[in-house]
């Protein structure tokens, strides 16, 4: 699990019965190295106490939107002293991330509609842009299935809130069903993957697991990358400018995270680092060859990441030798569609398999197209780059990506190196529901 060392975390606790587990969540956060400030609603305090939260976090607990009503008031910092009425702004600005566990159905509705009249939603609303907000819904199954709750969650995900999904299990009502809050150590593990620096191939033994267990240990990852070249004749081809850099970065980062990695790479410049890192490399030329190579590997792959820029069309017949220029001013090539490798493999996707696609889009409707492909190609995640973005896409060492997940999350990332993008993508994969 990535370490939360030196991270300042706000733990919001709202009025779901699962709040009885909130002190254990605080303790897990502290064990992972975080400095934790708990903020609780009145509802939360029906199920846990400020004393328990304070004891678990080692810090005073905020129990009211009025800063004077803290449990064990902390010595205010100079900025808090200057403006204690806006304590929530100072607290939110000093945090690296906020976790709301449990997040009740009402709190979800309040966050969605902008109702900030309790301490938890008030602090959440005050988080600066870019500070992650992670919520852990917990409620009875019938509440969980309410259209309002599901729509509110979908809206929050689209607006950048991370959701750690509830699990099926015994509920407070005595019934068994969906809506149970995951165990505190599972919550903190997923939370750390969202919040901690993306690399984190190995981490400490904060939760008792052996130090150095990489996040993708034991997983088989299949990655495609680079362009494909579709021959016109013996010397000419139809291709594109894809460099394969994104795929190479994904392969190397996957290795660092403990995976067994196969990279199927179209014709591009060699990446000597791949073999040094132990990536198993297969090189192919055409879309058809890439399809054959992918088909040979899919059955044993746990995660498939298709970042290749496969040519969409190939000449219907490749001429033998070198085609003559001829006397005419124009020439006509008949093209046929290449196989859509991603669409093909996702038809026989196993329920336990994760498939990630890429989408290079342009214009205002880029996101709509990417979302449509996510659905149509039955993907768990799609990584979009907009060709209008400076420094992003083919050939560059940097990329600007937006990630969409099947469960509705939208994560827009700034321009960053392709290595950093790879880390972000892989980290998001490890926390997919
Ligand atoms: O439909 P579009 O080509 O935009 O989809 C892009 C995604 O589909 C990428 O993940 C790419 O690797 C994959 N793809 C494919 N085979 C094709 C075309 C695209 O696997 N022939």
Is the residue at 30 inside a domain? yes
Distance CA 290, CA 283 (A): 8
Distance CA 153, CA 168 (A): 18
Give the residue whose CA is nearest to atom 2 of ligand 1.
359
Of ligand 1's atoms, which has the minimum distance to the CA of residue 287?
21
Cα of 379 to ligand 1 centre, how many Å?
12
Is the residue at 305 inside a domain? yes
Three-class SS string for 229-257? CEECCCCCEECCCCCCHHHHHHHHHHHHC
Cα of 290 to ligand 1 centre, how many Å?
12
Residues tagged active-site: 240
Question: What's residue 69's pLDDT?
Answer: 56
Question: What's residue 401's pLDDT?
Answer: 94
Distance CA 407, CA 346 (A): 17
Is the residue at 106 inside a domain? yes
Is the residue at 330 inside a domain? no
Distance CA 198, CA 19 (A): 29
Question: What's residue 206's pLDDT?
Answer: 36
The reply to whether 239 and 356 lie within a common domain is yes
The reply to whether 354 and 273 lie within a common domain is yes
Cα of 311 to ligand 1 centre, how many Å?
8
36 pairs with which residues across the strands? 9
Question: What's residue 344's pLDDT?
Answer: 94
- Reading phi first (left if > 0) and then psi (alpha if -120 to 50, else beta), residue 6 is in left
Is the residue at 391 inside a domain? yes
Chain segment 343-377, per-residue pLDDT in tens: 999 999 999 999 999 999 988 899 999 999 999 99
Domain stops at, among 178, 195, 212: 195
Domain stops at, among 195, 229, 254: 195
The CATH number covering residue 374 comes to 3.40.50.10300
Of ligand 1's atoms, which has the minimum distance to the CA of residue 342?
20
Distance CA 182, CA 190 (A): 10
Domain stops at, among 195, 211, 240: 195
The reply to whether 155 and 230 lie within a common domain is no
Question: What's residue 172's pLDDT?
Answer: 83
Cα of 304 to ligand 1 centre, how many Å?
13
Q: List, chain by chain if needed, residues with CB within 6 Å of any ligand 1 atom.
A: 224, 287, 306, 308, 310, 312, 338-342, 357-359, 373
Cα of 309 to ligand 1 centre, how many Å?
7
Ligand 1 pocket mutation pick from 310, 344, 362, 365 by most atoms within 8 angstroms of CB: 310
Taking the model in full, what pTM does it have? 0.73
Give the residue whose CA is nearest to atom 21 of ligand 1.
340
Ligand 1 pocket mutation pick from 225, 308, 344 by most atoms within 8 angstroms of CB: 308
For residue 81, the number of C-alpha atoms closer than 13 Å in the C-beta half-sphere is: 4
Is the residue at 129 inside a domain? yes
The reply to whether 397 and 349 lie within a common domain is yes
What torsion do the CA atoms of 152, 8, 206, 432 make, to the nearest 10 degrees? 30
Low-confidence ranges of the chain (pLDDT < 50): 68, 73-83, 198-211
User: Which residue segment(s) compose the domain that 65 sits in?
Assistant: 8-195
């Amino acid at each position: 699990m990535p370490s939360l060392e030196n991270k300042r975390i706000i733990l919001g606790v709202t009025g779901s019965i699962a709040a009885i587990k909130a002190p254990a969540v605080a303790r897990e956060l502290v064990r992972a190295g975080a400095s934790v400030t708990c903020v609780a609603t009145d509802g939360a305090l029906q199920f846990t106490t400020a004393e328990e939260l304070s004891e678990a976090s080692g810090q005073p607990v905020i129990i009211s939107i009025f800063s004077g009503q803290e449990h064990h008031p902390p010595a205010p910092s100079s900025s808090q002293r200057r403006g204690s009425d806006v304590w929530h702004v100072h607290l939110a600005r000093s945090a690296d991330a906020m976790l709301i566990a449990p997040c009740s159905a009402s709190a979800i509705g309040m966050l969605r509609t902008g109702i900030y009249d309790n301490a938890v939603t008030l602090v959440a609303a005050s988080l600066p842009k870019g500070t992650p907000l992670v919520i852990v819904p917990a409620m009875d199954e019938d509440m969980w299935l309410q259209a309002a709750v599901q729509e509110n969650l979908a809206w929050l995900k689209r607006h950048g809130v991370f959701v750690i999904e509830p699990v099926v299990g015994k509920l407070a009502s005595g019934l068994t069903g969906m809506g149970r809050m995951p165990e505190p150590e599972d919550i903190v593990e997923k939370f750390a993957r969202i919040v901690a620096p993306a690399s984190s191939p190995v981490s400490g033994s904060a939760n008792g697991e052996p130090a150095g267990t990489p996040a993708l240990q034991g997983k088989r990852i299949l990655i495609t990358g680079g362009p494909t070249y579709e021959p016109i004749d013996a010397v000419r081809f139809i291709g594109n400018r894809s460099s394969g850099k994104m795929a190479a970065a994904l392969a190397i980062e996957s290795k660092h995270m403990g995976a067994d990695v196969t990279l199927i790479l179209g014709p591009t410049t060699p990446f000597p680092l791949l073999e040094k890192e132990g990536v198993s490399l297969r090189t192919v030329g055409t879309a058809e060859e890439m399809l054959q190579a992918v088909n040979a590997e899919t059955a044993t792959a746990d995660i498939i990441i298709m970042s290749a820029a496969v040519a969409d069309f190939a000449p219907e017949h490749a001429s033998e030798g070198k085609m003559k220029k001829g006397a005419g001013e124009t020439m006509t090539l008949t093209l046929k569609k290449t196989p859509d490798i991603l669409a093909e493999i996702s038809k026989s996707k196993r329920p336990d398999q994760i498939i990630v696609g890429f989408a290079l889009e342009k214009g205002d409707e880029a996101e709509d197209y990417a979302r449509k492909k996510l659905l149509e190609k039955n993907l768990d995640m799609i990584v979009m780059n907009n060709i209008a973005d400076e420094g992003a896409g083919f050939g560059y060492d940097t990329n600007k990506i937006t990630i969409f997940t099947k469960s509705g999350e939208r994560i827009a990332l700034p321009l960053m190196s392709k290595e950093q993008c790879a880390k972000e993508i892989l980290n998001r994969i490890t926390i997919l529901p």
